[in-house]
Structure 1
């Protein structure tokens, strides 16, 4: 995926409420994006397959006629992993599944929402998504956070973290050696400080460790403290 200004991106809006779809499309187009709209879940995969140039990001409603948003998220992730996905949902109890446990959406926005928030979050996700595919700057043998680009670099290689994974790593790296209880980490995972299960924290930590291990298979910098939580412990 080549790097362009965020405003040149093509965005697919999958939303069955016409007023919401029009409002979001107007704001995206006002920011320079090119938007497309589909109202039925069954139309999404055929539409993507037929495109010579696919969108960089999908704003995907959870509740759709035909194929639901959860199923579509899973299918798109498997077939076109480069496409970023932001879920639109009024069902806050589904957020665990959307962001980490199995589907891996890049972000979520809860209804009702401000169209300005949609534009801002779209730009943020695109910056992170593009950073994964851009050449990483030369770096040393350290784990480095690029907070502006929302990415982590290990030996100069981008780890491709999600927003939640980046936030968890940032919190722990700011206090090396400090043990964080799961409850403390939960407070940093979601913007609205919703209550989530400890299993959710464990799932994100597991994925974060796996991504770090792809570059550093011999090093373990995120360590479990039995019965308490986790800590970032760089090697001496």
Structure 2
């Protein structure tokens, strides 16, 4: 049986090295090389690979951001010049993490791990990207979303508010709405707190988009973003708004 693989790296020499190292691994077929996440998401849908050789630091969309929006079960080997994610990757039982420059022997070792997992049918080692991201205390400065095979990078300045929808969160922007497989707790912890406020268990709002408040019920209000968008504000949310916006 042959397994299909994608090589995803913005540097052509790096992709060439991986392809050369894979030549002797006859059970792995490189179905496409991708220079960025936008190409990769289309290639994944088209080819349905089992294996990704994935760089992390790429322009426009990082490797971690790409994995956030992939639904298919994949075996991922990181190939990167940056080591800041290595510890978390291993803690979460990633297949392997190859730090550039790596030699052929080290690469072969990673490939063997991949093949062992695929042949055993054991996918328990798959990288849990959400947990990896949640373990980081860094604040988000953008959010990558997907509709079909189209990736979009949402600038936080264009984000109006977020709404809880069961196990997902709907992002409402000035140009469209996007469903993200994350939790409200994740966004509450990772969005800049000086800009985004949890005004209700169902809503996180971009404070700069609030035009005003209007009474809704006894001791409760609605936040007005525009005449067609008014969001319920809980008592706790109202206190946060008063502190933040000096209402």
Give the TM-score normalised by structure 1. Answer: 0.47
Identify the structure with the greater strand proportion.
Answer: 2
Please tell me whether Structure 1 or Structure 2 has the larger radius of gyration of its CA atoms.
Answer: 2
Larger RCO (CA within 8 A; separation ≥ 6): 1
Identify the structure with the greater helix proportion.
Answer: 1
